Amino acid sequence: MTNWREIYENDCALPPGRGLDELTAELAVALGDPDPEVRDGYPYAVLDAWIRGGVIDGEGCLALGDLMAGRFSDPRIEARTFAPLVLKMIVGQGVLRLSWVDAFAGWYRAEADLRGRDDALGWLHAVAHGADLLGAFGLRPEVDPEPLLALAAERLLAPTEYLFAEREDDRLAKAVALVLTRPDLTPERSTAWLSPIAEALAPYERGPMPVWASNTVRTLRALYVLADLGVPLERGGRPVPLVHGEVVKARVAEVLRPVLP
């Protein structure tokens, strides 16, 4: 097996005598490995460096993206939930097929295993990893932002017994905020996705709140903060205002008001 740590510590330089296609195929397998030290370790870091640095070119990224999109129907949870991280790397470099959006949406709205972390498998993080890709898609002008906002609402409203415990609410709120920076959104399109959430939360003005509702309320609170302060488009960047931030804040407050104590 390739020593990915050695490659990483050698500034991710291609090892002599090894072909890029062969190594990329090996990395793709590693990114679905049940061992978290393999899946989330040096292979992940090397692949990220190669995609960001252009070592894997456009055609290579397209082939890798197609492979990852196919993993959304993989029976292994660790393969399904790491596919969006690789696609986010690729989409972040400007490489995109619209069929990836459809494959992602089908998986994200339906994924039932929402555990953040498993003792044996390590990080799974379906909601958070999916949110990262949703945000990346949302920044691409080729992708209609409104279905992405509706998809975020579907993810929140899906019944679950998993209470967000690993900052999934923050990650999903950030993804939605990124989509809401799109200049082609109108005030109406920026807030329409909140209507089904308002309807679903209405019965819980008093009394016990189901887990999905608690997750939803916490995500909307985080979104309110981002609508107020702005959201960085990249790690460490300056916050960018949401295109209709005040309108979004007002609608989020309206949706949350009945369920706040």
pTM passes above 0.85: yes
Provide the residue type at 3 as one letter: N
pLDDT at 6: 95
pLDDT at 11: 95
pLDDT at 33: 95
Quick check: 173 and 226 in contact, CB under 8 A? Answer: yes
**Alpha-carbon 76 to chain mean position:** 18
Q: Which of 146, 251, 145 is nearest to 197 (CA)?
A: 251
pLDDT at 180: 98
pLDDT at 202: 94
Q: Which of 182, 217, 188 is nearest to 200 (CA)?
A: 217
Quick check: 163 and 117 in contact, CB under 8 A? Answer: no
pLDDT, block means (10 residues), the chain with 261 residues: 92 92 95 94 96 95 98 98 98 97 98 97 97 98 98 98 97 98 98 98 91 98 98 91 98 96 82
Please tell me whether residue 232 adopts helix, strand or coil conformation.
strand
Q: What are the b/e assignments for 30-46, b being 16+ CB within 10 Å?
A: bbbbeebebbbbbbbeb
pLDDT at 214: 97
pLDDT at 205: 87
